[in-house]
Amino acid sequence: GFTTAFADYILMDPSEEYGPIFALMQEKIYMSKIVVEFLQKNRDATYEDLLNKIETTVPPAGLNFNCFTEDTLLRHAQFVVEQVES
């Protein structure tokens, strides 16, 4: 969403032109959420434990993807690491 001097706008669905960009951002956001929450609860976890958590997590309904994989994590690794650090 965004705010102007006239109103607050909450965007529910992207246009077809911006759909792929929006889907990529949602994937990054949910992957970061999974990793951060997992690491907060499991400080002594291994990489394999994290992968198991990622691969067994079902993404929220209505998104353009239906599973998370190690490739998903690696594709967004820089973004995820920055989120974990912050």
Q: What is the pLDDT along the chain (86 residues), one digit of tens a residue?
A: 789 999 998 877 778 888 888 888 889 999 999 999 999 999 999 999 999 999 999 988 777 778 899 999 999 999 999 999 98
Tell me the domains of the chain and their CATH numbers: 14-85 (1.10.10.2230)
Residue with tokens 């997590």: 57
Listed residue (28, 26, 14, 21) closest to 77, CA to CA = 28
- pLDDT at position 2, please? 84
